[in-house]
Amino acid sequence: MRNTTSYESPFCTRYASEEMQHVFSADKKFSTWRRLWVALARAEMELGLPVTQEQVDELEANIDNIDYDVAEAEEKRRRHDVMSHVYAYGQVCPKAAGIIHLGATSCYVGDNTDIIVMRDALEIVRRKMINVLANLAHFAMEYKGMPALAYTHLQPAQLTTVGKRATLWMNELLMDFNELEYRIANLKLLGSKGTTGTQASFMELFKGDTDKVKELEAKIAKEMGFNGVVPVSGQTYSRKIDSQILATLSGIAQSCSKFSNDMRLLQSFKEMEEPFEKTQIGSSAMAYKRNPMRCERITSLARYVMIDSLNPAFTAGTQWFERTLDDSANKRVSVPEAFLAVDAILNIMLNVTDGLVVYPKMIRQRIMRELPFMATENIMMDAVEKGGNRQELHEKIRQYSMIAGKHVKEEGLDNDLCDMLLADPAFMITKEDLDKILKPENFTGRSEQQTEEFVAECIQPILDANKDILGEHFEMKN
pLDDT of residue 149: 96
CA–CA distance, 274 with 321 (Å, rounded to integer): 50
| 477 in a structural domain | no
Say which residues have a Cβ less than 8 Å from residue 73's Cβ, sequence separation at least 6. Answer: none
The model's confidence at residue 366, banded by pLDDT at 50, 70 and 90, is very high
The model's confidence at residue 373, banded by pLDDT at 50, 70 and 90, is confident
Q: What is the DSSP letter of 155?
A: E
Query: Do 180 and 291 fall within a single domain?
Result: yes
| 92 in a structural domain | yes
Say which residues have a Cβ less than 8 Å from residue 467's Cβ, sequence separation at least 6. Answer: none
pLDDT of residue 320: 96
pLDDT of residue 249: 98
Rounded average pLDDT over 414-436: 89
Phi, psi angle pair for 300, to nearest 5°: -65, -50
| 358 DSSP β-pair partners | 272
378, pLDDT greater than 90: no
Query: Do 171 and 306 fall within a single domain?
Result: yes
23, pLDDT greater than 90: yes
Write out the DSSP string of 188-203: -B--S--SSSS-HHHH
User: Tens digit of pLDDT for each residue in 165-196?
Assistant: 999 999 999 999 999 999 999 999 999 999 99
Phi, psi angle pair for 353, to nearest 5°: -70, -20
| 322 in a structural domain | yes
Which of 359, 388, 419 terminates a domain? The answer is 359
Query: Do 187 and 249 fall within a single domain?
Result: yes
Percentage with pLDDT > 90 across the chain: 84
Contact call for residues 222 and 229 (beta carbons, < 8 A): no
Query: Do 54 and 78 fall within a single domain?
Result: yes
pLDDT of residue 372: 86
Task: Please give the residue range of the domain that contains residue 391.
Answer: 376-437
| 456 in a structural domain | no
Which of 303, 325, 359 terminates a domain? The answer is 359
Domain count along the chain: 3
Rounded average pLDDT over 80-85: 94
202, pLDDT greater than 90: yes
Query: Do 196 and 227 fall within a single domain?
Result: yes
CA–CA distance, 12 with 21 (Å, rounded to integer): 7
Residue ranges in 150-236 assigned as alpha helix (H): 162-185, 200-205, 210-223
Options 22, 101, 138, 153, the catalytic residue = 153
Contact call for residues 213 and 203 (beta carbons, < 8 A): yes
How far CA 103 is from CA of 41, 211, 212, 216, in Å, comes to 10, 16, 13, 11
Work out the widest C-alpha separation in the chain, in whole angstroms. Answer: 103
Options 22, 283, 300, 473, the catalytic residue = 283
| 36 in a structural domain | yes
User: Tens digit of pLDDT for each residue in 392-411?
Assistant: 999 999 999 899 989 988 99
104, pLDDT greater than 80: yes
Strand-strand pairing, 272-273 and 155-161: unpaired
| 151 DSSP β-pair partners | 156
Query: Do 384 and 429 fall within a single domain?
Result: yes
Amino acid at 96: A
**Higher model confidence: residue 5 or residue 59?**
59
| 44 in a structural domain | yes
The model's confidence at residue 127, banded by pLDDT at 50, 70 and 90, is very high
Q: Give me the count of residues in the chain.
A: 478
CATH code of the domain covering residue 18? 1.10.275.10
Say which residues have a Cβ less than 8 Å from residue 398's Cβ, sequence separation at least 6. Answer: none
User: Tens digit of pLDDT for each residue in 282-340?
Assistant: 554 444 447 899 999 999 999 999 999 999 999 999 999 999 999 999 999 999 999 99
Which of 359, 392, 426 terminates a domain? The answer is 359
Which helix (H) or strand (E) element contains residue 148? strand 147-152
Rounded average pLDDT over 50-65: 98
Query: Do 115 and 93 fall within a single domain?
Result: no
Query: Do 133 and 114 fall within a single domain?
Result: yes
Rounded average pLDDT over 125-139: 98
436, pLDDT greater than 90: no
Q: Return the sign of the alpha-carbon dihedral for residues 394, 395, 401, 404.
A: negative
pLDDT of residue 282: 52
| 189 DSSP β-pair partners | 229
233, pLDDT greater than 90: yes
Check if 138 is active-site.
no
Contact call for residues 379 and 439 (beta carbons, < 8 A): no
Phi, psi angle pair for 65, to nearest 5°: -90, 70
pLDDT of residue 336: 98
Q: What is the DSSP letter of 229?
A: B
The model's confidence at residue 45, banded by pLDDT at 50, 70 and 90, is very high
pLDDT of residue 358: 96
The model's confidence at residue 473, banded by pLDDT at 50, 70 and 90, is very low
Query: Do 166 and 272 fall within a single domain?
Result: yes
Contact call for residues 189 and 175 (beta carbons, < 8 A): no
**Higher model confidence: residue 199 or residue 276?**
199
pLDDT of residue 357: 95
Query: Do 66 and 127 fall within a single domain?
Result: no
Check if 283 is active-site.
yes
pLDDT of residue 471: 56
pLDDT averaged over every residue in the chain: 93
CATH code of the domain covering residue 258? 1.20.200.10
Q: Which of 138-142, 244-248, 433-437 comes out lowest in average pLDDT?
A: 433-437
| 168 in a structural domain | yes
| 244 in a structural domain | yes
Cβ burial 266-301 (10 Å sphere, 16+ → b, else e): bbeeebbbbeeeeeeeeeeeeeeeebbbbbbbbbeb
Rounded average pLDDT over 75-91: 93
Cβ burial 176-210 (10 Å sphere, 16+ → b, else e): bbebbeebbeebbbbbbbbbebebebbbebbeeee
Query: Do 87 and 186 fall within a single domain?
Result: no
Q: How far apart are the first and last CA of the chain?
A: 49
pLDDT of residue 278: 53
Percentage with pLDDT > 70 across the chain: 95
Which helix (H) or strand (E) element contains residue 453? helix 447-454
CATH code of the domain covering residue 401? 1.10.40.30
Q: Which of 114-118, 281-285, 386-390 comes out lowest in average pLDDT?
A: 281-285
Query: Do 95 and 114 fall within a single domain?
Result: no
pLDDT of residue 342: 98
Contact call for residues 11 and 339 (beta carbons, < 8 A): no
CA–CA distance, 282 with 270 (Å, rounded to integer): 15
